Amino acid sequence: MTNHSYNRQDSGYTYQQGQQQWLPEPHRGTMILIFGILGLFFNVIFAILAWVLGAQDLNKIDEGRMDPAGRSNTSTGRTLGIIGVTLNLLVVLPIIIYFFFVLGMSFGGGVPFITE
């Protein structure tokens, strides 16, 4: 065994000169917060990532497997991700419906109606 120290982040254990010590995973709160902000203003992909990663990290924090120092940034980023996804749906969905309505009008020749 070498005398080098290394950290396996997937296990949460740090090995140093033959000693084993448990340390929680480092938080990703700042990254999730940035993804939430980007998702709110620029791209829905970032909003989805902030929502999913934020939920996963909050679960890990609650279980004690991740550093709790990033809880507020993670929670805020997840909330911004949820808002970003919702706003994008409210904007994009009517555009898609309008597009299909106009496309149907141009190929169908008129507004469909029900006759008895």
The reported pLDDT for the residue numbered 113 is 65
Domain of 31, in residue numbers: 27-108
Phi-psi region of 102 (alpha: psi -120 to 50; beta: other; left: phi over 0): alpha
DSSP 8-state assignment for residue 64: T
Over residues 50-71, the mean pLDDT reads 94
Q: Is 33 within 8 Å of 72 (Cβ atoms)? A: no
Any domain includes 9 = no
Strand ranges across the sheet with 19-22: 6-8, 13-16, 19-22
User: Is 115 inside a domain boundary?
Assistant: no
Cα gap 51→89, rounded to integer Å: 15
The domain total for the chain is 1
Is 84 within a domain? yes
Higher pLDDT, 113 or 35: 35
Residue 39 domain-assigned (yes or no):
yes
The structure's pTM equals 0.69
Per-residue pLDDT, 1: 39
Is the separation of the CB atoms in 80 and 50 below 8 Å? yes
